[in-house]
Structure 1
Amino acid sequence: MMSFTPLQTLKNVEFRNLLTGRFFIVLAFRMLATLLGWWVYQLTKDPFSIGLIGLSEVIPAVSCALYAGHVIDMNEKKKLLLICNYVYIFLIGLLLIPAFLDVRMHFTGHEITYFIYGVIFFTGIARAFIGPIIPVMIPKIVKKENLPNAVTLNQATFLISSVCGHAAGGFLIGYFGIKWTLLVIIFLIFLASLFFFQLNKQYSGYKKENINVMDSMREGISYIFKTKEILGALCLDMFAVLFGGAVAMIPVYATDILKVGAEGFGLLNAASDIGSMCIITLLSVIPLRKNQGKILLAVVTGFGLCIIGFGLSTWYWLSFMFLVMSGMLDGISVVIRGTIVQLKTPDHIRGRVMSVNSIFIMSSNEMGQFESGLSAKLLGVVRSVVFGGTMTVLIALVVGSTNPKLRKMQY
């Protein structure tokens, strides 16, 4: 069992720069996700159109992920990270065209929606690369004995920025409108790049001419399937969160069921991240020391039950509390899953394993958004959310009963 050194990792200046840059870029991404969900629903009034946002991003992201892992392992990481930053700035900048010129150029709601889907398709390609890079860089920046704490702090940074991004996105949309919110998002991504510039370069130990791309990608997939703890953790992420993605329907709940407007939407959208932020901050000081595998299975089950409660609630504050509790349970799950993947992966294959990990994450989040939109169209919004929570509980029970290595896992 590894010893933890809470908060000691923050003494590392390079690690602080990495986390600060990540804070600003995730803040921007969460504000963008909030903005797009609200914008598209106001344009179409169709829950299914929200699901298509996720599908537009996840198809290119998943398609490119394995190749992205190969590229990350074979190339200098800092340069790739900065390239992805500036690609995002360019692509999000394209959304300023309909945001500022929709009235002058007489764009219809459907034309703007299709344009948004097109831009998000290309951000999905960039996401395939930027998603795994930061987790790949962490083990080279911190000592191995500090790695579990670094993973926890990385997730805490992610969730704090998610909370701020979801809430700020709702408030900025409500008070300043879509176009000015987009400008803030672009500025935040540029600000992130200033911190990434201060990182040291991380070169690959491979000689590129000796590496076959297909063999390289197969090596990453093979390693995951041979390591049952990683496979079980990733399956929980993909399938459980795939069906438990109630967050995608929050614009519908805020507008039509709870009737709380843009400001209430922003807070409701941040609720699960508030819960996650609180619990991960606690875990960075008081880490889990044993039975992490059993705890992982228990919290995923509890997460599903909270989603069922949210789906059935018609009271704003009760809905908010169900999402906060779901976030607390998911936060514990994220820390355990992330630590398992980092500790069980050797350095030479980390980019490819993290890229496969990103496929599972993107499949669960963006495909979850699509699944929520589709099931809402077929079953109705409330029944679709309850169905998703029920499936999450069942999947946790199946994984727990069929993967004894994950169940007995502790670090």
Structure 2
Amino acid sequence: MSPSPGRFAALQHRDYRLVWGGNFVSVIGTQMQFVAINWHVYKLLEGTALSINLLGRQVSLNAEALGLGGVGLARIIPIFFFALVGGAMADVVNRRKLLILTNSAAAGFAAVLAVLSFQQRDTVWVVYLLTAAGAATSAFSSPAFQSIVPNLVPASDLTNAISLNSIVRQVATIVGPVMAGLLLAKTNVGWVYALNALSFVAIVAALALIHYRAGPAAIGTGLGLSAILEGWRFVRGARIIWGSMLLDFFATLFSSARTMLPLVADQILGMGAGGYGLLTTADAIGSLIAGLLVSLRRDIYRQGTVLLGSVALYGVFTVLFGLSGTFAASYLFFALIGASDTVSTIIRQTLRQTLTPDRLRGRMTGINQIFFMGGPQLGELEAGMVAAAFGVPFAIISGGIATVALTGYIAWRYPRLRRYNSATMAEESAAVAAAGT
């Protein structure tokens, strides 16, 4: 494949275009279910009180907040168990076939959750269990998906492809929550899960139609502890990649405003399910605008500085969101949270995919998944516990402050990440290649 000039150049490649479109439909369903699960758990626990004995005193905790934190725990436990194996598999087996299998399994789990919801057998523990099962499939599908994208477009179009993937995610995060909010207000939550199950048909069909052939570097390298350790040694040796992963983890660990959205919408803003669905679109709109602006550029200058600055702003806007008490202000600051997060995500993903050799890309992505998904999901648990003890605004504000402080630490601790840009890419590629030998 030769480099493609012009904007949205990645869409000129047939296989990428098919996968992009199928993923678009699938992610809409995933976002619908993401919103529905949080609301589902909140409603199952609504009005429930939890009291514990602390140093001889009875302390009442917010059961709904703890329940939402439990959703994050259900999502992250399978990631910790399976992400490294999933990353190694993405370097060993055919990535297309692995994606077809894992997406089909995810559709099955969503269908089971739909049936149980219709039958009113939907306890909190059932929701947790099937959420964990779906997360287990993503531990295998996420490394394979991120690793297959560089196989579908030339290197010159990779930033554009990652930007377009970000646009898919953000548009889906607008459409999905709105659709979920409307359905949650009018129908059984099972319909949301059923639509998510159907949405996986699009990505499975797209994967079946592409002409993807795995290169020799991606197939047959062996699957075992030695392969996993090789990926770990590579990531730890490539300090710029390791630093970007730590930045990702700590930012999302503490700035978990999205986790508290059901409580913000219902208890602080008094807007119910419809307002919850609408508020969840705010960060997606901000992310969409940021993603479109980035996709119109072939490159981002001073990537390291922009990366660190956008993460710091992510923390600042989280603080302002926690301080806001009106819907308009909350919507604005949540949109700015989304915009800053998208800019940093595009830079981080492009940096890692560009600097990592194809034979190690799946394992790198599997390790990154622990950070990328571990941060937000552990953040849900952390935010739920803090909110249960000290209130929702305190949980959000303190998380934003911690994010800003930790961003400053990463900038000081990893100066090569701070200085990273197009001019230093060749130097960093050589350093990263040395880490992989």
For normalisation by structure 2, the TM-score amounts to 0.89
What is the 5 A alignment of 1:194-343? 194-203=205-214, 205=216, 211=222, 213-343=224-354
Question: Are 1:78 and 1:200, in contact at CA under 8 Å, matched by a contact in 2?
Answer: no
For the structure 1 residues 5 and 179, does the alpha-carbon distance in structure 2 shift closer, same or farther, using more than 3 Å as the test? same
Match of 2:8 in 1: 7
Give the deviation of 1:86 after TM superposition: 1.1
Deviations 1:57-87 (A, max 9, x none): 2101221111111111111111111111110
For the structure 1 residues 101 and 267, does the alpha-carbon distance in structure 2 shift closer, same or farther, using more than 3 Å as the test? same
Q: Which amino acid aligns with 1:12?
A: H
Uncovered stretches (5+) of structure 2, i.e. residues with no partner: 47-63, 423-437
Report the 3-state secondary structure (helix = DSSP H, G, I; strand = E; otherwise coil) of the residue aligned with 1:263. helix
Match of 2:24 in 1: 23
Q: Pick from 124, 145, 167: which aligns with 1:156?
A: 167
Q: Which amino acid aligns with 1:9?
A: A
Match of 2:127 in 1: 116
For the structure 1 residues 113 and 201, does the alpha-carbon distance in structure 2 shift closer, same or farther, using more than 3 Å as the test? same
What is the 5 A alignment of 1:171-182? 171-182=182-193
Q: Distance in 1 between matches of 2:341 and 2:133?
A: 29
Match of 2:35 in 1: 34
Match of 2:204 in 1: 193
Q: Which amino acid aligns with 1:7?
A: F
Match of 2:83 in 1: 65
Report the 3-state secondary structure (helix = DSSP H, G, I; strand = E; otherwise coil) of the residue aligned with 2:134. helix
Q: Which amino acid aligns with 2:123?
A: I
For normalisation by structure 1, the TM-score amounts to 0.94
Report the 3-state secondary structure (helix = DSSP H, G, I; strand = E; otherwise coil) of the residue aligned with 2:214. coil
- Count residues with an aligned counterpart: 403
Q: Distance in 1 between matches of 2:399 and 2:74?
A: 21
Q: Distance in 1 between matches of 2:270 and 2:221?
A: 60
For the structure 1 residues 209 and 147, does the alpha-carbon distance in structure 2 shift closer, same or farther, using more than 3 Å as the test? closer
Q: Distance in 1 between matches of 2:263 and 2:373?
A: 22
Report the 3-state secondary structure (helix = DSSP H, G, I; strand = E; otherwise coil) of the residue aligned with 2:356. coil
Q: Distance in 2 between matches of 1:237 and 1:304?
A: 12
Question: Are 2:252 and 2:379, in contact at CA under 8 Å, matched by a contact in 1?
Answer: yes
Q: Distance in 2 between matches of 1:389 and 1:250?
A: 15
Q: Distance in 2 between matches of 1:26 and 1:334?
A: 17
Q: Which amino acid aligns with 1:193?
A: V
Q: Which amino acid aligns with 2:194?
A: L
Q: Distance in 2 between matches of 1:34 and 1:123?
A: 14
Match of 2:430 in 1: none
Q: Which amino acid aligns with 1:57?
A: R
Q: Which amino acid aligns with 1:173?
A: L
Q: Pick from 416, 419, 422: which aligns with 1:408?
A: 419
Q: Distance in 1 between matches of 2:215 and 2:230?
A: 16
Report the 3-state secondary structure (helix = DSSP H, G, I; strand = E; otherwise coil) of the residue aligned with 2:192. helix
Match of 2:112 in 1: 94
Match of 2:139 in 1: 128
Q: Distance in 1 between matches of 2:176 and 2:376?
A: 17
Q: Which amino acid aligns with 2:68?
A: I
Give the deviation of 1:205 after TM superposition: 2.3
Match of 1:55 in 2: 73
Give the deviation of 1:361 after TM superposition: 0.9
Q: Distance in 2 between matches of 1:280 and 1:263?
A: 26
Report the 3-state secondary structure (helix = DSSP H, G, I; strand = E; otherwise coil) of the residue aligned with 2:209. coil
